[in-house]
Structure 1
């Protein structure tokens, strides 16, 4: 949250969350409001958000027990659908909570980020849905929602999320009326989920320190945000002098403290 307001001080943040739409959530967010930032939390109204979309009938079947939720957390899959519906209904920017924002998104429009690319061709091989910027009612969002409702599979991790947006974009690529941009991995996913732990480590020797300096410079100069891959990093300690410690210091809106320079 701090990182978002550091780069978008006049932005408006809506946190869609049952747990944050509470007295405890209000206490957590009050320091931001007291500082003049516009932020609120609201519980999702699925009936309203899915109304008049193909997700409406799917959600009705789910509630009646006519959809197999599968082994993957239903909450995770509803989150995948919810973000699409929110953007389709209202437009704007969707950001996962495990994303640190580094720069303003004000110049972005109808954009989604590539997670991986083919080293030989430079073409993307997978997209991700952790950060999305779209106009209200964008046809690609409609196709995303349609794909979710028609092909839902609750037993395959990512099938209704990153894999969904990837296969839909492949289908509509080059077709008229689907104006959007695919940003390179460095925009939002500068570090692969298998290597995210490296951003939390302090230098162990001179060569490692040199690598940390280079990577930090690359992220600061080329990335708009950093996805932290919470499934992999949530238990990892932020070490002193690490890249993440520097990025967190860059994004702080409540402190004047600084981290020693790499």
Structure 2
């Protein structure tokens, strides 16, 4: 009898010890898991990997039913043109994207701001608040970019749409360079706020986003020999290196590879018009004054003291869905450089999906 009691006592002790050990292991696991999740959340490539898996159907680009937009291919944009390209099939623009367009239009009253959609935009969509506001600018043109009319790269476009894990991003990369090759001008991502006119800049330029890479969110390629030389080389690179499930197949990597081949020194920090066949390469401080790892600075309460910049890249892959504090640098930039859009959305400006 005493022996049974001892066994029961020992069993209970082992049970308590095992339970306690399991709890400790679970706490350690959750802590490590959280750290991994935090690391993943701060990694733009993983963010887009998750985003793309959730939004990888852009077959809407083949549907022109009820489309009210004029076709870009039926027009000849002026030399001083800025392009934004929407490829995600979301219909319309959210407040942050519309803010980028207004900032470009506000800074360039004599330029044409072309907002291009790869999918059909219906009359109902045109009456959405952001597009209604943007239509009020004399220099903003909303147009359709028709995939079927891109004959030179139609096969690649179809591969991207039907086979890529990242179709919206990869199609955007293809279309931005094909648009610049065909018409020339400046391309901007929808998370770029323009704070200074590009009038004083040369016709062909890019900017480093880091010490070792060229950014693809802000690009200027003219239709001259210099611009065509680089834009055609980048398009050939895109076409020859397409891998549907490889994140490295993206704009900045592609641009950097081409510039490495065309510029005399190997180090990007040494690239300039003198060393890159008359193509200008600017310092990050002028166009990417805050790096992607510090992007949350734009959202928090406080002041951002940078001078002489042309644009602010808001790093949407890092800041999407995050709350914009009303006294943050982002909110201040929006109130100053896209006042109509900011007023339209008010306190809801920048909220996820708005």
User: How far does residue 47 in structure 1 lie from its aligned partner after superposition?
Assistant: 3.7
**Alignment counterpart, residue 41 of structure 1, candidates 135, 139, 142:** 142
Residues 209-261 of structure 1 show CA distances to partners (whole Å, capped at 9, x for unaligned) of xxx3xxx231xx2211111111111111111321112211220343898xxxx
**Alignment counterpart, residue 305 of structure 2, candidates 217, 223, 233:** 217
Residues 156-181 of structure 1 show CA distances to partners (whole Å, capped at 9, x for unaligned) of 22423110000100001139994211
**Alignment counterpart, residue 9 of structure 1, candidates 106, 109, 115:** 109
**Alignment counterpart, residue 217 of structure 2, candidates 130, 134, 143:** 130
**Alignment counterpart, residue 251 of structure 1, candidates 319, 323, 337:** 337
8 Å contact from structure 1 (residues 25, 41) kept in 2: no
* Matching residue of 1:85: 178
Corresponding residue SS for 1:222: coil
- Counterpart CA distance in 2 for 1:255 and 1:177 is 39
Q: Which has more radius of gyration? A: 2
1:194 aligns with 2:300: no
Corresponding residue SS for 2:145: coil
Query: Which protein is richer in strand relative to its size?
Result: 1
* Matching residue of 1:145: 235
Residues 58-81 of structure 1 show CA distances to partners (whole Å, capped at 9, x for unaligned) of 346x3897xxx343x112101100
* Matching residue of 1:239: 325
Corresponding residue SS for 1:217: coil
- Could you say what the CA RMSD is over the residues aligned between the two structures, in angstroms? 2.7
8 Å contact from structure 1 (residues 115, 126) kept in 2: yes
Q: 1:57 to 1:239 in 2, by over 3 A?
A: closer
Structure 2 unaligned regions, length at least 5: 1-100, 265-273, 344-354
Q: 1:241 to 1:143 in 2, by over 3 A?
A: same
Q: Higher relative contact order by CA 8 Å / sep ≥ 6: 1 or 2? A: 1
Match runs of 1:138-177 below 5 Å: 138-174=228-264
Structure 1 unaligned regions, length at least 5: 118-124, 204-211, 258-262
Residues 36-59 of structure 1 show CA distances to partners (whole Å, capped at 9, x for unaligned) of 4222222222243343xxx35534
Query: Runs in 1 of length 4+ with deviation above 4 angstroms?
Result: none
* Matching residue of 1:32: 134
